[in-house]
Structure 1
Amino acid sequence: MCLGIPGKVVSVGEDIHQPALVDVCGVQRAVNIALVCEGEPAELIGQWVLVHVGFAMSLLDEQEAQDTLDALQSMQAVGLELDEMRQHEDGYAVR
């Protein structure tokens, strides 16, 4: 399953054909903004976008972005707990 992850646009090129840098949880990634850029690319700086396979798929408001990040972090925490439970089931590591 593939998920879109919120990121904040920190820099852009001169046009939509140049990738923007998007901060995703502290890591900057080059992202194609052609699908979300309706005006000048510079207008996207500071905006939140939903990133999927290297493309900004949609714009998000900051609250929606934070709610999504919180949900993704919760899912990761639950996944880690389940992995730990599986490893300790009946005293044997289960794979």
Structure 2
Amino acid sequence: MSFSQERLYQVLLAPQISEKATYVAEKNEQVIFRVVNSATKPEIKAAVELLFKVQVDSVQILNVKGKVKRTSRGMGRRQDWKKAFVCLKAGQEINFVEGGAA
């Protein structure tokens, strides 16, 4: 499948960096990204391979429901968002401190 490069540059929003994400990255050689709600697994795979010059083994997607929060005007709700667990092939690594593949 071929995707337009414009679309691939818009698919990944940000890396999800948390204590759980670093644990998953060390244990399973996975990287977690926040992605666009309309993104598909093949698009995410192509985007990661294009941007970071690494080989992707598989992609799992998780839809995160927005939290209900109280505001001054009553109850409000945050937006739903999508999280992608990208499993890299053996020996591959993404280093976010340097901004590229290691």
**Common fold, TM-score beyond 0.5?**
no
Using CA pairs below 8 Å that are at least 6 residues apart, which structure has the higher relative contact order? 2
Larger radius of gyration: 1
TM-score (norm 1): 0.26
TM-score (norm 2): 0.25
Structure with the higher fraction of residues in helix conformation: 1
Structure with the higher fraction of residues in strand conformation: 2
